[in-house]
Structure 1
């Protein structure tokens, strides 16, 4: 009996072992790579290409994306209509990155409604592994949508209509895609925009948080309010303290009604970053500026993020360059990546706007003549000559053919030196005898050229490494009675820009008056996009 039971048990064990082995082998055969004719192993083929006619069908179904059709077709032709956002394992990590970017465009200061976004939302959740041509084409189009809105900005023809003639940056977004498909982290780490963009992006997040928490209340001043000075006591002081606490101009809100030292320091900080004369007296205009709604500040930040999109990152790679920001009335000279000089400037009036463009500084002219432009000659000088026949002699001027020029000297309208970067706008940097203008808050007084508060310092820095010049020779040339031209050995890029919001080296956001009324036009254009 025992022998029979032993035999039956052995038989069952054998059958069970055979069954398990058969199951294991079958399972292994399903997952084990099959040997191809090349001798290499490969998993069961999943088609990673699609029919090119799918592209035409896609745009017929989703016509609002046709703007990106040309770029998409070129990209897929280059890649033989292979899937870009899928591989054999399923949807790539890069697809998730682009999808998340599209979900968070507001962080980039983009308010436009993404076309068909709700359709992709549905498709994206349902499909993860098997390639889906509709999801594939959505992602490609949204990639170009992202690069267009976030990296490139509005079309250059539109920026020129807004009076922006600085050269636009050039970047191949097809090549950029090649890079991020290999390493998705590059889309955040490579930073294809200038550093100022990312600084403003952080400020945008901060100001939106303030807005989310209720923003700031308008400071209510009595009708007869004239000023506040250190030591004054008033309920108005507590309102100002609360307002400056929200924007981190003051570290804490003591709720005190006394205009004490801590608030005085906060006021100086606020005035500096808002383009006011840095004193401790508070006037109605300062309270008016504090009452600008936070929604307006957010719009200003977004508008200037857009302007950053137009600037090439190559700008900061130059050994030396000069930047003039019109709204802040300031010139900054960079050498070897560091700020070498900051100078106040006077720019064109609203009727004679300084043009936004760039050029290469090529010449310095010491003790210059001022060749009076025909428009100024006809509108201002000729009428003055009719009233006073000695007008030219009185202003050290003379006829030069049919034109009028002012002779070199301390009273010359161009001062003692000018810096030329040849351009069709006839705009340049120059000295001026009207030094008092540089101390004023609003400095839009010129006919379009840019007057520099520190011309001698600028000339010395430019010629610092030129063996032909010493500070003494520069001063002598400036004080001379004859015009002297000098060709620079190395041309210097000059960029004249227009930014009404800017983050400084201390991480503080600066707001400047929109002196040429350009922000609203750009904001409206962005909302239309």
Structure 2
């Protein structure tokens, strides 16, 4: 199976986008048919070891005449069975269905568990053919064989591949998509003696974690609990109120309060405090233990909306690589956090500020190759027109008072503590004019929701990030980095080993403590994706 890594910032006063005329990034369409075709020639002879049951090539055309809804996979099946000399893949030499066939049938039967609202084509026919397996004539075995293979490709497309790349680009997901050979995976599944339960599925690890929570949330009883604050006042430890009883029941329902025995009391005790803080952490709030309006609004979101959010984020996980190696950075926009990883190990986190809704941070991937200490800020044309030029008309000393100067046909702000980019920026070439950078507006990092920038990503600990990026260069000591950040002279530094950075968008995930997290859909992308899933 081909595996490719395809995963993963403001201004103080005005914004961070600098003027440039770079061309739009090229987008490559990910075609399931193409990857299947590329892999088909490599898989001959690796499936069932039987060589007595065959069907004629003409039966393929006849099959798709009857099963027209699966015609999308006709070329895939033609190439697949040509390499096998039209030998059956789902039957053994005694003419019985293999264990792998039963496994696939089970997965097809439980398709809703995969977080999809799709209807399995020809389900009744498949059920009938499987149930009469022992008494099947050779014609029925052929029909079952071709139906299973077609539905395998259907399953692989929907569950492991997700929406086509041209659809995800419509909702501004511009990161490269994973490339997979579903035929190669089928090869692995069907090898004689292989235990299909141990075959690693081509989905990012978060997918199956969310899948387990989807099952739990669908199994929850109807949620008729609505929380109302007494007198619109927040509830604190030590308070007593009938509302606290409802709060306990809700938190028990959601798994934050561990025992049903803890739901009876109407007093805010230490057990409830632990549950409230856990809920707050899972939803990106300050875990202060005070149940106020923001927490109540989260508590009152209907379970069905939570289920839909889990399903939407399962879809996003279908697009990510299954295996990532080396060091990289990943920014999750709705979480307002930058994560540093080595392989699958989380090294550290850092708060960030991302673009506000009108200046959305773009979802894409790049490679940080340069650090700029004490940078100039080249004022974007839009800000120059809307703010700088009107300011100059009102005040002839506007540029000087803002530490700016004319530069070519534009204006730039000089390096120094006043600079909107702060003391350092981290460059990764891209057509979106986006980068990571420092900021003089430090107080915003204390906010629980941090969408304030013009699109770039402000980092809370720029010096630590610079030290991390330059850790392999012994000439860049902490003292030298500190001095470079305090200088008023711009300095570019090339990174010896450029580091991938992935800017992602997930509003639900399972953290390393095993807790399900939700975040606000700050760019209103969940509904867009949910609508696309319904259409496909």
Alignment of 1:318-329 (within 5 A): 319-329=326-336
Aligned to 2:367, the other structure's residue is in SS state: strand
1:402-442 deviations in Å (ceiling 9; x for gaps): 11111111121111111111100111000000011111122
Aligned to 2:334, the other structure's residue is in SS state: coil
1:218 to 226, 244, 256: 226
Bigger Rg over Cα: 1
In 1, the alpha carbon distance for the partners of 2:502 and 2:345 equals 16
Matched, 1:444 2:454: no
Matched, 1:308 2:317: yes
Structure 1 counterpart of 2:352? 345
Equivalent residues of 2:355, 2:455 under 8 A apart = yes
Matched, 1:93 2:60: no
Alignment of 1:344-493 (within 5 A): 344-493=351-500
Equivalent residues of 1:97, 1:184 under 8 A apart = no
Equivalent residues of 1:330, 1:342 under 8 A apart = yes
- Name the CA shift for 1:505/1:46 in 2 (closer, same or farther; >3 Å): closer
Equivalent residues of 2:336, 2:354 under 8 A apart = yes
Q: CA deviation at 1:221?
A: 3.7
1:209-255 deviations in Å (ceiling 9; x for gaps): 21xx2235222345x41311221111111111111112221222242
Aligned to 2:452, the other structure's residue is in SS state: strand
In 1, the alpha carbon distance for the partners of 2:269 and 2:128 equals 58
Q: CA deviation at 1:336?
A: 5.5
Structure 2 counterpart of 1:63? 68
Matched, 1:116 2:136: no
Structure 2 counterpart of 1:503? 510
Structure 2's unaligned 5+ residue stretches are: 1-49
Q: Where has structure 1 moved over 4 Å in runs of 4 or more?
A: none
Structure 2 counterpart of 1:205? 215
Aligned to 2:359, the other structure's residue is in SS state: coil
In 2, the alpha carbon distance for the partners of 1:322 and 1:256 equals 45
Q: CA deviation at 1:278?
A: 2.1
In 2, the alpha carbon distance for the partners of 1:142 and 1:332 equals 38
- Name the CA shift for 1:216/1:504 in 2 (closer, same or farther; >3 Å): farther
Q: CA deviation at 1:257?
A: 1.2
In 1, the alpha carbon distance for the partners of 2:103 and 2:304 equals 29
In 2, the alpha carbon distance for the partners of 1:474 and 1:483 equals 13
1:140-179 deviations in Å (ceiling 9; x for gaps): 1110011111111010100011100111111111111111
Alignment of 1:168-317 (within 5 A): 168-182=177-191, 185-186=195-196, 188-210=198-220, 213-215=221-223, 217-222=225-230, 224-252=231-259, 253-314=262-323, 316-317=324-325
In 2, the alpha carbon distance for the partners of 1:286 and 1:487 equals 45
Structure 1 counterpart of 2:36? none
Equivalent residues of 1:216, 1:294 under 8 A apart = no
1:325-370 deviations in Å (ceiling 9; x for gaps): 0001110011364322211111111111100000011001111111
Structure 2 counterpart of 1:11? none
Alignment of 1:25-104 (within 5 A): 47-90=52-95, 91-104=97-110
- Name the CA shift for 1:328/1:396 in 2 (closer, same or farther; >3 Å): same
- Name the CA shift for 1:388/1:46 in 2 (closer, same or farther; >3 Å): closer
In 1, the alpha carbon distance for the partners of 2:361 and 2:65 equals 46
In 1, the alpha carbon distance for the partners of 2:398 and 2:236 equals 46
In 2, the alpha carbon distance for the partners of 1:184 and 1:160 equals 37
In 1, the alpha carbon distance for the partners of 2:82 and 2:106 equals 27
Structure 1 counterpart of 2:338? 331
Q: TM-score, normalised by structure 1?
A: 0.88
Q: CA deviation at 1:379?
A: 2.1
In 2, the alpha carbon distance for the partners of 1:471 and 1:337 equals 28
Aligned to 1:437, the other structure's residue is in SS state: helix
Equivalent residues of 1:320, 1:337 under 8 A apart = no
- Name the CA shift for 1:64/1:188 in 2 (closer, same or farther; >3 Å): farther
Equivalent residues of 1:216, 1:246 under 8 A apart = no
In 2, the alpha carbon distance for the partners of 1:517 and 1:280 equals 28
- Tell me which moved more, 475-484 or 259-268: 259-268
In 2, the alpha carbon distance for the partners of 1:185 and 1:520 equals 39
Q: TM-score, normalised by structure 2?
A: 0.87
- Name the CA shift for 1:161/1:187 in 2 (closer, same or farther; >3 Å): farther
Q: CA deviation at 1:56?
A: 1.2
In 2, the alpha carbon distance for the partners of 1:384 and 1:99 equals 69
Q: CA deviation at 1:47?
A: 4.4
What do you get for the CA RMSD once the two structures are aligned? 1.6
1:174-210 deviations in Å (ceiling 9; x for gaps): 1111111015534654132111111111111111121
In 1, the alpha carbon distance for the partners of 2:424 and 2:71 equals 54
In 2, the alpha carbon distance for the partners of 1:367 and 1:46 equals 71
Equivalent residues of 1:367, 1:479 under 8 A apart = yes
Structure 1 counterpart of 2:131? 125
Aligned to 1:87, the other structure's residue is in SS state: coil
- Name the CA shift for 1:336/1:94 in 2 (closer, same or farther; >3 Å): closer
